[in-house]
Amino acid sequence: MPVVDFSSGQYRATDYDKARDIYTFKNIRFAAPPTGDLRFRAPVKPARAVGVQDGKAGASCLGSIPAMGPLKSNTIPGGSEDCLFLDVYVPGKQFKAGAKPLPVINWIYGGAYLIGAKDQIYKGGPLVSASGNNLVFVSGNYRLGAFGFAAGTTVENDGTANAAFYDQRMVFEWIRDEISKVGGDPKQVTAMGESAGAGSIQHHLTAFGGKQDPLFRKAIIQSPAFQPYYERTALNQQLFERFAQGAGCTGADLLACVRKAPAAALQKSQVDIINSMPNATYGFGPTSDGKWVRQLSTLEFASGNYFKDMDGLIVSHVQDEARIFIGGMTNDAQFDADVPKLYPNAPAVQNAILKQYPTSGPGSKYPNIAERDDAFIGDSVFRCNVRFISDAYKGKAWNMQYSHTPGIHGTDIIPDHFYADGPLISLNSTTSAFMRSYQSYLTSFAMTGDPNTRSLKTGLVPAIDWPKTSNAPGQKVLGNVLEPLDDRYRLIDDVQITSDNCGFWVDAHAAVTQLGGWAPPGAVVKSSLLSAAVPAADASKNYGGA
């Protein structure tokens, strides 16, 4: 096994797939354990390990099961706060003389910002193999739940809100500084993620109002998702105080107490909060903090405050994003009661949401509460993020609606990670052919910047030519959108993410942000939902630069 000298120590490859000639280096430490006084702070560089590490020592971050329908949240067994490790999948040829640097994919996992790990189910081998061993694949852990996304003024004053984004950033910095040691090219990095992982990439593009170089120039963004936690006092600060109190902390210095509290007590408090939240919301995730998340990324895109020097993006959603999240909503009264909890102190916005998503039943555009809730969650949490990103990067984006059976949230990661040179799950020949052609779009994009250049146009399910997205000014729906079906691909107009539906959410997010006075100077988006004037941005609220 090859041994590589990284800044955190010498690491020997942990695994070797002889059939596919791929080495895996596991559990490379990229940050110090975020424990004790480092809880709720940005990560710091690790000490150098003594001796040669075999990669067998490592852990996933502490996580909680998301509450979905009748399923209540609970603590996930195992895991550790000492979890900031990454894995690297490297073709064997990169350890031979004369090897040319290869493009890099950095995978950011999803899981509602509460659950997941770099290697829990995700594997880098399938995409490396699908590329003809012409990619290097990296995936790192990041802190979850309150450990990664605690926010509010208490955390802002003596810590780092949204610390998980800084964990992810440190992985990109590690790639910049270290990936050449295994034959990767730090100038050819593609960020790739699904759900919370894709929503994370979205927040790297708008970090500090777009002033921070994200350290990647290409992105594959699948089902970008996040709850709009926009208000730093009434929502975020109160939530942190509840979290601290649930772990037994009260008094003037909550943060000092929480940093000393047992991790198990913090996990229990987190679970209690998740189980008390409105349907399909979890309490912890990307949160407005005046710095990394100056305001909702929706509004950063709309006001032009995002990183623009991107080479290209693949942006996708599945055919039915929200269906698996709506089991907890059984009647319209529940829906009507949840809206004020999600958008407190903003009656104009609450009324507008109830008008945009009216009561279900005869004569309504929603025949039942399931369809009403599906539309609300699908638009506000998932699909419109696709529209915001695609509109921001006009002329640089390829869009997709993933409709391969069953076409529900998360199923598009099956070809990402579970198929390589022969099925790792039970597949018939048509599905196998689909997996290969679908992977070829992704690997072609990561290798060349264009999903068509190396796409597999032969076989039972051949790839077709995939144009860039058509979204001219005034165009209600996105055109030239690739739709993968079970046995073929086709191009469609994506009627699920219309300018009317998504424009409403720009208006709604602008209204709640302006009502709270949280809009950063020079990045105000006016809302038609507010008839009266709103206060100007307050410079004392610490809107940071890069």
**Could you tell me which of 363, 388, 218, 400 has the C-alpha nearest to residue 304?**
388
- E-strand ranges in 383-531 read 397-402, 478-484, 489-494
The predicted pLDDT at position 545 comes to 33
**Could you tell me which of 276, 378, 279 has the C-alpha nearest to residue 319?**
378
Would you give the distance in Å from CA 282 to the centre of its chain?
15
Element (H, E) at 266: helix 263-276
> For 476, how many CA atoms within 13 A lie in the half-sphere containing its CB?
4
**Could you tell me which of 15, 29, 89, 30 has the C-alpha nearest to residue 57?**
29
Residue 522's CB is within 10 A of a number of other CB atoms, namely: 11
Please list the pLDDT of the chain residue by residue as tens digits (546 residues).
999 999 999 999 999 999 999 999 999 999 999 999 999 999 999 999 999 999 988 999 998 887 766 677 777 888 899 999 999 999 999 999 999 999 999 999 999 999 999 987 888 999 999 999 999 999 999 999 999 999 998 999 999 999 999 999 999 999 999 999 999 999 999 999 999 999 999 999 999 999 999 999 999 999 999 988 887 777 888 899 999 999 999 888 899 999 999 999 999 999 888 888 877 777 889 999 989 999 999 999 999 999 999 999 999 999 999 888 887 788 999 999 989 888 888 888 999 999 999 999 999 999 999 999 999 999 999 999 999 999 999 999 999 999 999 999 988 998 887 766 554 455 668 888 899 999 999 999 999 999 999 999 998 999 999 999 998 877 899 999 999 999 999 999 999 999 999 999 999 999 988 888 778 887 888 888 886 544 444 434 443 333
Q: Is 190 helix (H, G, I), strand (E, B) or coil?
A: strand
Structure tokens at 262: 């047992």
Residue 17 vs residues 20, 126, 129, 525: alpha-carbon distances, Å: 6, 11, 11, 52
Structure tokens at 457: 């146009």
**Could you tell me which of 347, 505, 331 has the C-alpha nearest to residue 339?**
347
270/282 Cα distance (integer angstroms): 9
The predicted pLDDT at position 542 comes to 41
With contact defined as beta carbons under 8 Å apart, do 198 and 221 qualify? yes
CATH number of 3-541: 3.40.50.1820
Q: Is 281 helix (H, G, I), strand (E, B) or coil?
A: coil
- In DSSP notation, 194-214 reads ETHHHHHHHHHHSGGGGTS--
Q: List the chain domain ranges.
A: 3-541
380/61 Cα distance (integer angstroms): 28
User: Quick one: CA dihedral 304, 306, 309, 313, positive or negative?
Assistant: negative
**Could you tell me which of 225, 282, 245 has the C-alpha nearest to residue 65?**
282
Helices and strands counted in the chain (H then E): 16, 14
Encoded amino acid at 238, one letter: Q
76/379 Cα distance (integer angstroms): 29
Active site residue 444: no
Residue 395 vs residues 377, 480, 483, 516: alpha-carbon distances, Å: 28, 12, 19, 35
Query: CB under 8 Å to 532, separation ≥6 — which residues?
Result: none
**Could you tell me which of 143, 136, 81 has the C-alpha nearest to residue 111?**
143
Residue in 60, 73, 129, 195 annotated catalytic: 195
| Start-to-end C-alpha separation, the chain | 41
- In DSSP notation, 462-497 reads -----PPPB--TT-SSEEEEEEE-SS-EEEEEETTS
Query: CB under 8 Å to 533, separation ≥6 — which residues?
Result: none
Q: Is 103 helix (H, G, I), strand (E, B) or coil?
A: strand
